[in-house]
Amino acid sequence: MQASVTYRHRGVYFMSHLPNRNESEILIALHGYGQLAEFFLKKMEPIFREDRLVIVPEATNYSYQKGFSGRVGANWMTSHQRETAIENNNYYLNEILESVMLKYASKPTINVLGFSQGAATATRWVSQLAVNVEKLVLWSGGFAHDLNLKSAGEKLKNKEVIVVLGDEDPMLTPESIQKQNELIASLPFEVKRMEFKGGHDINIPLLKSIFV
Task: Flag whether 6 is in a domain.
Answer: no
- State the helix-helix crossing angle for 117-128 and 149-156, rounded to 10 degrees: 80
8 belongs to a structural domain: no
The radius of gyration computed from the CA coordinates of the chain, to the nearest angstrom, equals 17
Structural domains in the chain (count): 1
Decide if 7 is inside a domain: no
Alpha helices (H) along the chain: 37-43, 82-101, 117-128, 149-156, 174-185, 204-210
Question: What CATH number does residue 157 fall under?
Answer: 3.40.50.1820
Q: Let me know if residue 25 belongs to a domain.
A: yes
Q: Is residue 146 part of a domain?
A: yes
Residue 181 lies in a domain: yes
pLDDT truncated to tens, each residue of the chain (212 aa)?
A: 989 999 889 999 999 999 999 999 999 999 999 999 999 999 999 999 999 999 999 999 999 988 898 899 999 999 999 999 999 999 999 999 999 999 899 999 999 999 999 999 999 999 999 999 999 999 999 999 999 888 899 899 999 999 999 999 999 999 999 999 999 999 989 999 999 999 999 999 999 999 99
The pLDDT, as a whole number, for residue 92 is 97
**Strand order, beta sheet including 160-166:** 13-15, 52-57, 25-30, 109-115, 135-139, 160-166, 192-196
Residue 179: the pLDDT is 93
Q: Is residue 2 part of a domain?
A: no
pTM, rounded to two decimals: 0.94
Residue 4 domain-assigned (yes or no): no
**Domain boundaries, position 147:** 13-210
3-state helix, strand, coil in the chain (%, to 5): 35, 25, 45
Rounded Cα distance, 40 and 31, in Å: 6
CA distance 91 to 89: 6
